Amino acid sequence: MEYSFSAQKPGATFLLISPTAKATGMAYVWTSIVRDASANYYNGAGLAFLKSVNITFTYFKYLPGLQDDMPYIYVAGAYPLVNSSWGFDVICYSPGKKYFFDRNGNYLGEKRVYDISPQIN
């Protein structure tokens, strides 16, 4: 008799990290009044209210002190048109180095892993 169990693990949890300090400081109320390129992340409809070209960039080390090699990078841009606008954003996150072993426990090496999420609105 065989039994198989699998743990429920969430995927792409790096997408839950707020990319801008302003929205975090306002307890996410920023979602309804967003007026910059971060509208791509929080509320794509907010792009319609932009009056000029806007670029946003965020970089921080996620969980400094616990693990220092976990960079989080967010880049967003928005370009208003006459009757609409378009925007893009990219989130790049690295949970750090991962160490690989074979089934016998022999060390195979280490690699830096990246999670990347591009978006176009």
Tokens representing 59?
A: 């970089």
Tokens representing 8?
A: 């429920």
pTM for the complete prediction? Answer: 0.80
Tokens representing 5?
A: 């169990």
Question: What is the pLDDT at residue 107?
Answer: 95
- Share of residues in the chain with pLDDT > 70 (%): 93
The DSSP call for residue 45 is G
Q: Is 84 exposed, middle or buried (0-12, 13-18, 19+ CB in 10 A)?
A: exposed
Which strand ranges, in their side-by-side order, compose the sheet holding 71-80? Answer: 54-61, 71-80, 85-101, 107-120
d(CA 15, CA 94): 12
The residues facing 100 across adjacent strands are: 109
Question: What is the pLDDT at residue 110?
Answer: 93
pLDDT of residue 42 exceeding 60: yes
Dihedral of the alpha carbons of 14, 24, 20, 16, in degrees to the nearest 10: 10
Residue 41 and residue 34 in contact, taking contact as beta carbons nearer than 8 Å: no
d(CA 74, CA 85): 20
Instruction: Indicate the range of 9-18, 19-28, 40-49, 60-69 predicted with least confidence.
Output: 9-18
